[in-house]
A and B are shown apart, each in its own frame.
Chain A
Amino acid sequence: MNAPDRSDSLPILVVGAGVAGLTAAMDLAGLGVSVHLVERESHLGGQVMRLDKLYPSDHCGFCPVWTEGAACLSHPLITLHRNTSLEVLANEDGRVIALLATCPPAVDSDACIFCGLCLEACEAGGVRGTIKMQPAGLPSDPATQPVPYLNPVLCSRCGECRGACPTGAIDPGRLDKPPLEVRLPVADVIFATGFTERNPAMVPEYLADSHPDIFTAMDFEAWIAEAGPNAGQISRRLNGKTPRSIGFIQCVGARDQRFLSYCSSVCCMHALKQARWVKRRLPAASVAIFFTDLRAEGKGYEAYARAAAMEGVLLVRSRPGLVFRLPEEGGGSTLAVHYEDTNSRQLITAEFDIVVLNGGLTACPLPGQSGSDAGTGNACGFCQEPADVSRSVVQGSRAAALAAMRLARRTGGGP
C-alpha cells in the first residue's frame, strides 16, 4: 500500500526551511506530494540551528533538526533550492507561477570538504577576515557543514582561495554573478519564513551595542553554547573573566507601544533556559530575570520555571528603566540595572557583569505576495504567530494537512 507517485502533478512550494517549513515539506512528501522547498540561507533548520539547547528538555536542538534536514535532503519527492528567494508569485490564467531567484554561493557546499585551506590562503594574501566560519561557532546542518563564507564586501577577488581549494569549491568570481531565475508552476504555497531578532539598540535606555557584555538572547546562546567559542564555559566578552552576576531583561522592545506591541511568546522560556544553564555552570553567580509577566504556559513550562526558581534564579517582576555603565573601577567595566522591585516597591540599582536583552522578535515578511492571493492563509511557524519549536512543528504539519486536503479536493482522491 504505497503512496502513489504524484510527481507528475504540480508541486507544492514551501518557503523557508526552518523547523516549520521542514516539517511541512516532510509531511507533504510523506503523503506522496512533490514539494519544492525554498530556503534563503545556504543551511537548513533556520533559527533552531543557532540554539544550543531546546526547552523544556534541555536536550540539544541540533541532532533532531539535523536528522530531519538529512531526511529532507535525501527524500525523492523534495527538491531543495538553497540560497534562493521567492521573488514573485504570479497568477497566470489560473495557474500559480513562482519566480525563484537563486544566488549561486561563492562556496559550493556540496563540493567543500571544510579543510580550511582557503582560510589560510586568504590570510596569506593579507586580506584577513574576508572568509570566516559561520554560523558563529555552532555546528551546522547537513546541507552546509561548516562551509566557509566569503564576505562580498571584504573580499578583494584576488583568487588565492580558489587556487588553494583542493576541490574547486570556492570561487570569488561567483560573488558578482547575477542571481539565477527560475519560473516554477506550483499547485499551492506554504509560507514558513520564520522570524528575525530585532536590534535592541532601538530601545535607548538599554545601551545595547555599546558594551561588549550586553548581549542579545541569540548572541548569548552562541556565546555560552557547548559547541560555541567557549565550549560552554561562561565568561565576560569584555575581559574573559568569569561573571559574578548576569541579568536577563525581558520584553525589550516588545509589549511596548513604542516598538512592538505584541508578546514574542518564546522569550520567557528562552531566558529561563539560559539562566538555568548559567546557574549550573556557575552556581555562585547571581542570576536574575526581569520579566513583565512570566509566561510559562506550555507543556511542562511552569515546572521548568519553578525548577529555575528552586535553583536560585531570581525572578523579578519589573521592567528596568535604565542600563548603564558604572563609572568607577577599571573604566566602567561593570554594568548596572536600575529597576523597581515590585515586591518591595523600592528603586534598586544592581550591578551586573553581563546583561542579556530578550525579546523583540519580528516575523519575516511573506515574500512574493504582490499580484497573487495564492496561499496567503497558509502560513505556519513564527511568521504566522509567535511560536516556539513545539508549536511551529504542529503548525507546519497543519499547513501540510490543509494543502494536501486542497490538493485532494482538486485531484479527487487521497494519498
Chain B
Amino acid sequence: MSGTPLVLICTCHETLSRALPKHALRIGIISRMPAAHLEFVPSLCRQEDMDRTAGLLEETKHSAVLLAACSPFARGNKVIEGLARSNYAIPASLVDLREGCAWIHGGNPEAAAAKAVDLVCMGLAGLTRRERSPNFHVQRERRVLVVGAGPAGLAAAGTLAQLGIEVILADRMSRQGGLLNQIGRLFPRNTPSQEFLAPLLQDAAHPAVNFLPKTSVTRTDGDPGRFEARLSCDGQNKTVIAGALILACGAMPVLPENHFRSGELSGVISQLELETRLRKLEGQEPAPPGITGAVFIQCMAAREDARPYCSSICCPTALKNALRLKNINREICVTILHRGITTPGRTLEELYRQAMASGIRFVAFSPADPPKVRGDNFVNAVSLTDALSARRLDIAADLVVLSTPLRPRPETASLAGDLGLRLDGMGFVCGTEPMQPLAAPLHGVYLCGAVRWPVSAQDAVDQGRAAAVKAATFLTQGGVDQKRLFLPGSQSGIASIRAEACSRCGRCVAGCPYGACRREGNEVISVSGIRCRGCGLCAAVCPSGAARIPEQDSASMRAMLREIAPRIIQ
C-alpha cells in the first residue's frame, strides 16, 4: 500500500449514493488512476470516521490522501482540520462532490458521476505532484517602535508597557502630546486637553517605555520580527531594533493661504488660531469685550477637487469652539456656515443639538457659490446665499474662523515608502479595510490615529490601544496568520525561487507587493518567508519559471488540466 494515494469518498450518510453510484465512481476512477486506493466512508465529518481515517493512514502509510466530500463551507473544512490535528504530515486535499456535483447535477446521475470521476482524478493529479512550502522560523524581538507621541502613540506605548512589552517611543518634538498641545479643549465634552492627556502621559511614563524626544525616523529596514530603524535624535544618528512598528505620526492642519481673504483682513483666522485665542479669552473675568459676531466657515480647502475628502473632525471641532464662544459671552452671535454638518453617532449628534439649543445659527452654503468675506483691513461681514432659502444674507462679523482639514505629515510618505505601505489618494496610510483597518499589509506594522485618517483625540487613543494589542499578539504568538481556508495542516504557500532556473532579471523583486522577493548582492533572489503572503505574483511575472508557489505550481496545475482536457493541453 505504501506510496499509493488514498481516496476517501464520503457518501454523506448515503444521501449521495443515488446521484453518485458507488460502482460508477469506482470503475471510473480506477480505470484512470489504477494506483489509487479507494474507500467509501459514510460520514467523514463524524468523529468515528475521522478516527478511523487516522487509523487507516497509520496502518497503510499512504503517500497522500484525497478527501472527496463536501464544500469547505459545509463540513469540508472541519474534515480537513480534523485530519490536520491527527499529525499525519502527508499531502492532503479536498474535492467537493456534494454541493458542486451531486446536488447541482442531481437530476442527471450519469453527468454527476462523470464529473465526480473527473474531480477526483484532477484532485489526485494535483495532489501527487504537489509540494509543500518549507517551514520557517522567525525571531521576534520583544520590542515595539512607536513613531509619534500624540494621543495615539502615547496610548499605544502605555498599553504595550502594561502588557509587559518594551517600547521605544520616538517623537519629532521635545514634548509628548502631539497636536493636542496646540488645542485647549476637546469635543465632545469640552475636556481640557491637558486633562485628557494626563492619564496617557502617566501610563507612558512606564519604565518599559523609552521616550526619545526630537527624534525622527530616517529609514527602516529589516523584516517583521526584526526591523531596523535608523533614528536621528537631536542631530545624532542611532539604530534601534524592534520586532514591530506602530505608526502614530499623526497629521497636520492645512493652514489658510489667502482663503476667504485670510492673509489680507484682520479677524479672519484658522480654527487652530482660534484655539490659542480661546485659551486666553477663557481665563478672563469678566468676559472680554471685542467679539460681537463670529462666523465659522466649514470645509475650507476640503471636499473639493484638489482635496476630495471630508476631514471628519472639523464639524465637531467647530461646534465645540462655537459653544466655547457662547460660554464666554452669550451675546456673541455665532453662525456656522456649512455644507452639511457631519456629526455621526449619538455623542456628536448630541453636541450638534446642544449647539442649536444654545442659539448658534446654522446656514448651509453651496460650494459653487461660497461665502464672501467683507471688510477693509478689518473683517466686518460675511455675505452668502442661503442654499436652502435662496435668500442673500449679510452677517455682521468681527471674527471669521476657517475650519481647515487635516492633511498627512510630509514624513509619512517616506516612512510608508521604506516599508512598502500603500498610501490612499490623499496621502494617508492604508490598513487592511474593513476587518483589519489598523494592520498594514506587512505583518508587524500597525497604524493608529491620523496617520491613517483624521480622527478625534478619543478615537486616536482607542486606535492606539487597538494597535498595541495587535502588535503584542504578533510579538508573543508563535505563528503569523494561522487562518486558512483550503490548505490542510499548514499556512498558505510561500514563494520559492529555483536558483538554477533564475535569470536574475528582478521582475519578481519589482512585482512583489510585500517586498518579500529580494536580491542579495547582485546574485541570488531570495524570498522572505514572513513577508510572503503566497499571492503568486512573482510566479506570474517570472519569465523563466523559476518563481513558484510549491502548493500551486504550474506542473501540478497542468497535470490537473490534462485530466479533463487531454487534447487541448500538451
Contact = CB atoms under 8 A, between A and B. Distances in A.
Given A398-B465, A405-B163, A74 B476 contact: no
Contacts of B164: 408, 413-415
Contact of A385 (B165, B311, B347, B465): B347
B526 interface: no
Interface residues of A, number: 73
Interface in A259-311: 261-263, 265, 293-303, 306
A293 B74 contact: no
Nearest to B16: A115
A392 to B, nearest CB: 9
Given A27-B473, A262-B345, A302-B310, A145 B435 contact: no
A302 B81 CA distance: 42
A57 to B, nearest CB: 6
Interface string B84-120: 0000000000000000000000000000000000000
A408 B472 CA distance: 13
Contacts of A294: 340
B434 A31 contact: no
Interface in A301-344: 301-303, 306, 317, 342-343
Contact of A113 (B43, B345, B438, B465): B43
A56 B15 CA distance: 42
A390 interface: yes
A131 to B, nearest CB: 17
Contacts of A65: 435
Given A71-B483, A262-B349, A30 B477 contact: yes
A165 to B, nearest CB: 9
Given A113-B74, A261-B349, A385-B345, A408 B162 contact: yes
A211 interface: no
User: Which of B140, B342, B433, B434 has the most chain A CB within a 10 Å cutoff?
Assistant: B434
Contacts of A413: 164
B426 to A, nearest CB: 9
B162 A405 contact: yes
A401 B469 contact: yes
A295 B15 contact: no
A297 B348 CA distance: 13
Nearest to A112: B75
Q: Which of A139, A398, A408 has the most chain B CB within a 10 Å cutoff?
A: A398
A404 B164 CA distance: 11
Query: Which of B438, B453, B466, B467 has most A Cβ within 10 Å?
Result: B466
Contacts of A353: none
A396 B340 CA distance: 30
A328 B483 CA distance: 57
Contacts of A167: 13, 43
Contact of B15 (A1, A117, A397): A117
A160 to B, nearest CB: 17
Contact of B434 (A302, A390, A408): A390
Contacts of A386: 344-346
A395 interface: yes
A393 B437 contact: yes
Given A1-B476, A395-B462, A401-B465, A414 B13 contact: no
Interface string B479-491: 0001101000000
B14 interface: yes
A370 interface: no
Q: Which of A68, A117, A395, A404 has its CB near the most chain B CB atoms (within 10 A)?
A: A404
Interface string A91-109: 0000000000000000000
A404 B163 contact: yes
B469 A74 contact: no
A220 to B, nearest CB: 20
B524 to A, nearest CB: 30
Closest 9 CB pairs of A and B: A414-B164, A397-B466, A30-B473, A166-B13, A297-B312, A265-B344, A401-B465, A293-B340, A299-B453
27 contacts: A3-B477, A30-B473, A30-B476, A31-B469, A32-B476, A55-B434, A56-B433, A57-B434, A61-B434, A67-B483, A117-B15, A262-B350, A263-B344, A293-B342, A297-B310, A302-B309, A345-B389, A386-B346, A389-B435, A393-B436, A394-B437, A394-B438, A397-B467, A397-B470, A401-B468, A404-B163, A414-B165
Interface of A: 1-3, 19, 27, 30-32, 54-57, 61, 64-68, 70-71, 74, 113-115, 117, 139, 142, 145, 166-167, 255, 261-263, 265, 293-303, 306, 317, 342-343, 345, 385-390, 393-398, 400-402, 404-405, 408-409, 413-415
Given A342-B387, A414-B165, 7 more contacts: A2-B477, A2-B478, A64-B435, A74-B81, A262-B349, A299-B437, A302-B308
